[in-house]
Amino acid sequence: MDIEISTVATTPFDDQRPGTSGLRKATKVFQQPHYLENFVQCILDSLPQKAGARLVLGGDGRFHNREAIQTIIRMAAANGLAELIIGQGGILSTPAASHLIRKNATDGGIILSASHNPGGPDGDFGIKFNTPNGGPAPEKITEAIYAATKTLSAYRIAATDPIDLDRIGETTLGGLTVRVIDAVDDYAELMQTLFDFDLIRDYLGDGRRMVFDAMHAVTGPYARRIFEGLLGCPEGTVWNGEPLPDFGGGHPDPNLAHAKKLVETMYAEDGPFFGAASDGDGDRNMILGHRFFVTPSDSLAVLAANATIAPGYRDGIAGVARSMPTSAAADRVAEKLGVDCYETPTGWKFFGNLLDAGRITLCGEESFGTGSDHVREKDGLWAVLFWLNLLAAKRKPVAEILREHWQTYGRNVYARHDYEEVDSDGARALMDDLGARLPAMAGTRLGGRTVAYADDFAYTDPVDGSVSEHQGLRIGFEDGSRIVFRLSGTGTSGATLRVYLEQFTDDPADYERDAHALLEPIASLAAEVAKIEHYTGRDTPSVIT
Ligand code: VG1
Ligand code: CO
């Protein structure tokens, strides 16, 4: 069928610079005429070979997902692409999209998501480009896309009827084949190659109750198939399994603040033995045992220490990586295993080269992200399955596994304090003021501790030599404790100041103590040294995780 293509004149928007994870804005910003189209045109133009290119396309199901997908289909047709592989209903979790890119060897993919940010007409929307390795485009590419948005004068779009996204099958639009596929099949198949499903099924079948909160976000269909289908859990194991455009009015962020009901259930006297949750686009995870919360930093360390229990990692791990603000718990495991540990800037895109080069097998971030070389994104359900495989192999409660881990490695007590939606100028001034004072800080005493180093974190990628500067201000103390300050690169209104607190202890009495109580002294020190109240007007964080 011939299609009618038009070239639409447009003018640049000056705010299309991708942040930590793609371009994220209020939904209303994305709904402005030409806003999405401009950015998509620049993504398509960034492809080394646009004519005949093949892409994966899907999103987390939030408000505006379907409309955006129809627009991208029409633009792909007009720009000479050969194929789009789209998840049924326009749904693809971020890790599932990453897998499809790799499995089908496409030229990349476009993922529509603002991850854990709330959705709906008054919420947020987002778009992210992934490269042929399945991972988020590195800065070199996102910066080139951004540069292109500043001079764009026209985009190409076809006049075609909407594709039925709910019907599996193929449609041809001019030279473009649009293939709508089952969103879950390939992902579920991949998980079965990595984990011992028989063992987990038997273990869960022994009357053990687990719950998984999909938070009305993208993992619902994946979790139902895997837990209630393949693993035989009773119906109702998956909570909030229906993806909704507004996530049921909730904040699809799997943490102690936003997965309240799950946390309450897990802390009840007769609570389940295992609980987990995932975020808007399915790449984050929260792991809970009965009356026990596993920090994401500890989760990475425990999985690294025990990786060989899972069939997919039976031969051991090549190395691990963690983002700089993530605790050093994984470093201790790597040291013991005799493998390398890399410290990268915040954001999954920095793990891509290390994974591609085979230098690391596992990686993670303190922000509830854990993953491996099976895809090039963090993967929420993967982490949950890894934990289930571990529990089934060890036949011990989560809390006991952690205590044993700390007995071997010591405990990196950890917390993050977020000051959300503070005034951007104030937040910038705080960072400038503190940054200017850092060089003189090493060797001085602060709050009874000696500063071992104080700097503005810069990273040189060991694979391609690219340098990323200004990735967070760090103050490390001689006793192993550390405070890190960063401004969020995913927020959409004002600024969010993140304060990361860490303290090492190998005193067994501390293994029973509450992290926040242990961290109170350095939390106060952080507030004081950065003059948080002075610059933000806030005397307490809005979210503590
Ligand atoms: C946050 C997290 C970061 C994570 C990013 C994307 O970024 O801190 O670790 O990679 O979100 O996660 P920032 O810049 O706001 O601190 V997701 O689940 O949005 O893809
Ligand atoms: Co996410």
pLDDT digits (tens, 9 = 90+) for 501-516: 999 999 999 999 999 9
Ligand 1: atom nearest CA of 366 is: 9
Look up 98 and say whether it is catalytic. no
pLDDT at residue 55 is higher than 70: yes
Q: Which residue ranges make up each domain of the chain?
A: 4-183, 187-409, 411-544
Compute the distance from residue 367 Cα to the ligand 2 centre, in Å.
9
Residues 6+ apart with CB under 8 A from 441: 451, 454, 475
pLDDT at residue 218 is higher than 90: yes
Compute the distance from residue 229 Cα to the ligand 2 centre, in Å.
24
Q: Is the CB of 115 under 6 A from ligand 1?
A: yes
Q: Is the CB of 102 under 6 A from ligand 1?
A: no
Q: Tell me what percent of the residues of the chain surpass a pLDDT of 70.
A: 100
pLDDT 10s digits, 332-375:
999 999 999 999 999 999 999 999 999 999 999 999 999 999 99
Reported confidence tier of residue 1, pLDDT bands at 50, 70, 90 = low
Structure tokens at 458: 């810069």
430, 419 Cβ separation under 8 angstroms: no
Question: Whose C-alpha lies nearest to ligand 1, atom 8?
Answer: 367
Taking the CB of residue 86, how many other CB atoms lie within 10 A of it? 25
Q: Is the CB of 347 under 6 A from ligand 1?
A: yes
pLDDT 10s digits, 275-313:
999 999 999 999 999 999 999 999 999 999 999 999 999
Ligand 1: atom nearest CA of 128 is: 20
For the CA of 279, the nearest ligand: 2
Residues 307 and 483: their CA atoms lie apart, in Å, by 29
pLDDT at residue 181 is higher than 80: yes
pLDDT at residue 20 in the model: 87
Reported confidence tier of residue 2, pLDDT bands at 50, 70, 90 = confident
Single out the residue of 384, 406, 422 nearest to residue 534, CA to CA.
422
430, 409 Cβ separation under 8 angstroms: no
Structure tokens at 149: 């948005």
Fold of the domain spanning 4-183: Alpha-D-Glucose-1,6-Bisphosphate; Chain A, domain 3 (3.40.120)
Q: Assign residue 358 a region (left: φ > 0; alpha: ψ between -120 and 50; beta: otherwise).
A: left
CATH superfamily of 187-409: Alpha-D-Glucose-1,6-Bisphosphate, subunit A, domain 3 (3.40.120.10)
Structure tokens at 422: 């503070």
Ligand 1: atom nearest CA of 496 is: 15
Compute the distance from residue 282 Cα to the ligand 2 centre, in Å.
6
Q: Is the CB of 488 under 6 A from ligand 1?
A: yes
pLDDT 10s digits, 97-116:
999 999 999 999 999 999 99
Q: Is the CB of 136 under 6 A from ligand 1?
A: no
Q: Is the CB of 416 under 6 A from ligand 1?
A: no
Question: Whose C-alpha lies nearest to ligand 1, atom 10?
Answer: 347
**What's the distance, Cα to Cα, between the start and end of the chain in Å?**
54
Q: Is the CB of 471 under 6 A from ligand 1?
A: no
Average pLDDT of the residues in 206-231:
97
Q: Is the CB of 21 under 6 A from ligand 1?
A: yes
Model's pTM, two decimal places? 0.96
| DSSP calls for 162-223 | PP-TTS-EEEEETTEEEEEE-SSHHHHHHHHHHS-HHHHHHHHHTT--EEEE-TTSTTHHHH
Average pLDDT of the residues in 19-47:
96
Pocket perturbation via mutation, ligand 1, pick of 219, 253, 346 by most ligand atoms within 8 A of CB: 346
Task: Give residue 9's identity as a one-letter amino acid code.
Answer: A
Compute the distance from residue 436 Cα to the ligand 2 centre, in Å.
33
Ligand 1: atom nearest CA of 284 is: 18
Backbone angles phi, psi at 218, to 5 degrees: -70, -25
Reported confidence tier of residue 492, pLDDT bands at 50, 70, 90 = confident
Ligand 1: atom nearest CA of 115 is: 19
Residues 6+ apart with CB under 8 A from 191: 197, 226, 381, 382, 385
Q: Tell me what percent of the residues of the chain surpass a pLDDT of 90.
A: 96
Question: Whose C-alpha lies nearest to ligand 1, atom 19?
Answer: 115
H or E stretch at 531: none
Average pLDDT of the residues in 414-431:
97
Measured CA distances, 40 to 50, 91, 98, 307, 494 (Å): 12, 18, 19, 39, 25
| DSSP calls for 479-512 | TS-EEEEEE-SS-SSSEEEEEEEEEEE--GGGGG
Compute the distance from residue 367 Cα to the ligand 1 centre, in Å.
7
pLDDT at residue 18 is higher than 90: yes
Residues 6+ apart with CB under 8 A from 268: none
Q: Is the CB of 389 under 6 A from ligand 1?
A: no
Domain 411-544 class in CATH: alpha beta
pLDDT at residue 39 in the model: 98
Mean pLDDT for the chain overall: 96
131, 356 Cβ separation under 8 angstroms: no
pLDDT 10s digits, 61-98:
999 999 999 999 999 999 999 999 999 999 999 999 99
In CATH terms, are 4-183 and 187-409 the same topology?
yes
Average pLDDT of the residues in 248-260:
91
Q: Among 115, 299, 367, 481, which one carries the catalytic annotation?
A: 115
pLDDT 10s digits, 101-160:
999 999 999 999 999 999 999 999 999 999 999 999 999 999 999 999 999 999 999 999
Pocket perturbation via mutation, ligand 1, pick of 20, 24, 219, 351 by most ligand atoms within 8 A of CB: 20
Question: Whose C-alpha lies nearest to ligand 1, atom 6?
Answer: 21
